Amino acid sequence: MPATIIINRRSDFIYDIILQPLMLRRSKLCYNMLMVKPPVDEVQLIEYHATSIRRQIIQMLALAGSGHPASSLGLVEVLACLYFNVLRYNPADPNDDQRDLLVMSNGHACPVLYATLAEAGLIDPLELRHLRQYGSRLQGHPERTRLPWLETTSGPLGEGLSQAAGMAYSLRHLDSPNDRRVYCIVSDGELDEGNIWEAVMFAGKYHLANLVTIVDCNDIQLSGRVDQIMPLGDLAQRWRAAGWRVSQVTDGNDATELLTALGNVQGSRRVSKPLALLTHTCPGKGVSFMEHDYHWHGRPLSEAEAGRALAELGVR
């Protein structure tokens, strides 16, 4: 039996009866407008869920016997912030036509996405045990046609940002006025792909201010450190040159900083540039022997390693 108990979120009456039915974001702003205090501190809420997601990632990867632990663990706070604070979605309908869209371009990090979907109550936590197994909806790399909560199918790197840009173009230039947003996660190693820069120029040209790209700067990729495999130069300058706003998130595992950065997206209807958040995360975060080590990009955990990792995450 997994040692963790899944609690989807702390009880939040206001969210359940007002915010969620109205498809409003679970942000401090929304609570302030209703003149009520958020039920728990936002940061504490994210950290609470992050720990739970991390444990699930270790357990599901150990059971699967393959998969990508480093970036999955590094992105936990990002996904937790998105699903427990930022994204607008309707838990009853993955195709709700007012939802925000999240495109995970670095599909290999899908364990963190699956675990977060379970943490948010969108899929059954028991399903996480079937990661990468025959007949599972949780494919080794995510497939939209098998799991309706996904906005795309990804894995081969470099293709997600273009699709996110196509979605953002549709919302901004073709559809009736709306405040829906498209979030895209790309990894730093993925920036080697030419397709990414085609999309970066496209989003700048068409002023896709409703598009937010979270660049997971974890400094590793499959076979080495990013600066060894292919140095990326001054990333902020590269994105700015193509017409983007750029913000640095110096610690992408710090919920406070992440929430501030993602909160600054607000008001984007008045600006005409897409936003890139260069988010510096720690690959393997939370497990001392994995942190910052590129060998854990795609290495499975043995039972003993999983036990050590879970112990570090407070599971006995």
Partner 1 sequence: MRLANDFTQGNPVRQSLRHGFGQSLLELARQDERIVALSADLAGSVGLGDFVQEMRHRYIEVGVAEQNLVTVASGLAHMGKIPFAASYASFSPGRNWEQIRTSICLNNQPVRLIGSHAGLNVGADGASHQMLEDIALMRVLPGMVVLAPGDSIEAAQFTRLMAQDSHPSYMRLPRVDLPVYNDPANEYQIGRAYVLRQDDQPVVSVVTTGSMTGNVLLAAQTLSQKGIASEVVHVPTIKPLDQATILGSIGRTKVVVTVEEHQVSGGLGSAIAELVLESDIRPTKFYRIGVNDRFGQSGTATNLWRHYQLDAGGIVEQILALLDN
Q: How far is the CB of 92 from partner 1 (least distance, A)?
A: 20
Neighbours of 271 (CB within 10 A): 12
User: Can residue 4 be called a binding residue for partner 1 (CB under 8 A)?
Assistant: no
CB of 265 to partner 1, least distance (A): 19
Longest dimension (CA), the chain: 55
At position 37, the amino acid (one-letter code) is K
How far is Cα 3 from Cα 15, in angstroms, rounded to an integer?
Answer: 29
Q: Rg of the Cα trace of the chain?
A: 18
Shorter beta-carbon distance to partner 1: residue 203 or 258: 203
Residue 194 near partner 1 by CB under 8 A:
yes
Q: Is residue 169 a contact residue for partner 1 (CB under 8 A)?
A: yes
C-beta neighbour count of 261 within 10 angstroms: 22
Comparing C-alpha atoms, which of 72, 50, 53 is closest to residue 283? Answer: 72
Position 221 contacts partner 1 (CB under 8 A): no
Q: Give SS3 for 217.
A: strand
Residue whose CB is less far from partner 1, 90 or 247: 90
* Rounded distance between C-alpha atoms, residue 54 and residue 91, angstroms: 22
- State the minimum distance, in angstroms, from the CB of residue 212 to partner 1: 15
**Does 104 participate in binding partner 1 (rule CB under 8 A)?**
no
How many other CB atoms are there within 10 angstroms of residue 44's CB atom?
Answer: 11
The DSSP code for 108 is G
Q: Is 175 in the site for partner 1 (CB under 8 A)?
A: yes
Stretch that binds partner 1, among 43-51, 154-162, 227-235, 241-249 (CB under 8 A): 154-162
Does 166 engage in binding with partner 1 (CB under 8 A)?
yes
Residue 200 CB, shortest distance to partner 1, in Å, is 10
- The single-letter code of the amino acid at 78 is V
Q: Is 93 in the site for partner 1 (CB under 8 A)?
A: no
CB of 152 to partner 1, least distance (A): 6
DSSP state of 194: H
* Positions in 273-292 near partner 1 (CB under 8 A): none
Examine residue 158 and tell whether it contacts partner 1 (CB under 8 A).
Answer: yes
CA 181/CA 183 separation, integer angstroms: 7
Q: How far is CA 52 from the centre of its chain?
A: 15
Among the listed ranges 27-35, 110-118, 202-210, 238-246, the one in contact with partner 1 (CB under 8 A) is 202-210
> Residue from 171, 185, 282, 310 that binds partner 1 (CB under 8 A)?
171
Smaller CB separation from partner 1, 52 or 152: 152
Using CA atoms, how far residue 213 sits from 84, 107, 168, 243, in Å, is 18, 15, 11, 13
- Written as one string, the DSSP assignment of 114-164 is HHHHHHTTSS-GGGGGGTT-TT-SS-SS--TTT-TT-SS---STT-HHHHH
Binding flag, residue 242, partner 1 (CB under 8 A): no
Q: Is 170 in the site for partner 1 (CB under 8 A)?
A: yes
Residue 265 corresponds to which tokens in the numbers above? 């997206």
Task: Work out which of 152, 213, 218, 281 binds partner 1, going by CB under 8 A.
Answer: 152
Query: Exactly one of 60, 123, 191, 199 binds partner 1 (CB under 8 A); which one?
Result: 199
User: For partner 1, which stretch binds (CB under 8 A), given 37-45, 148-156, 237-245, 282-290?
Assistant: 148-156
Binding site for partner 1 (CB under 8 A): 143-145, 151-156, 158-159, 162-171, 173-175, 194-195, 198-199, 201-202, 205-206
